[in-house]
Amino acid sequence: AQKVTQAQTEISVVEKEDVTLDCVYETRDTTYYLFWYKQPPSGELVFLIRRNSFDEQNEISGRYSWNFQKSTSSFNFTITASQVVDSAVYFCALSRALYNQGGKLIFGQGTELSVKP
């Protein structure tokens, strides 16, 4: 069965702290994609990053970085020097490369990040 686990339900940090959001996934597929989405208090879901199962290079985008490790089935997300605007619920998701899956995203439970001034 396919599953995504975000064990941290809530994280609270003070501004400028670094924070890492964990994501562990389960799949027997060899080809799959992993995503991170952000849901700010306004409620919309915003795409952050996509990774395919063959690309284990870490990625950095400004204060955001992602660490993909197939050996541990993890795709963790780090925010450096957090800001109040980073406060949101963050979702990790898995998509299987099978036609009959119809592009379905399997989401983790989400991690609610609160950044205090």
Partner 1 sequence: DTAVSQTPKYLVTQMGNDKSIKCEQNLGHDTMYWYKQDSKKFLKIMFSYNNKELIINETVPNRFSPKSPDKAHLNLHINSLELGDSAVYFCASSQGLLAKNIQYFGAGTRLSVL
Where along the sequence are the contacts to partner 1 (CB under 8 A)?
Answer: 31-33, 35, 37, 39, 42-47, 50, 52, 89, 91, 95-105, 107, 109-110, 112
Gap between the Cα atoms of 1 and 20, Å rounded: 26
Nearest residue (CB) to partner 1, 42 versus 71: 42
Gap between the Cα atoms of 64 and 59, Å rounded: 8
Nearest residue (CB) to partner 1, 43 versus 117: 43
Select from 115, 113, 79 the least CA-distant residue to 6: 113
Nearest residue (CB) to partner 1, 67 versus 109: 109
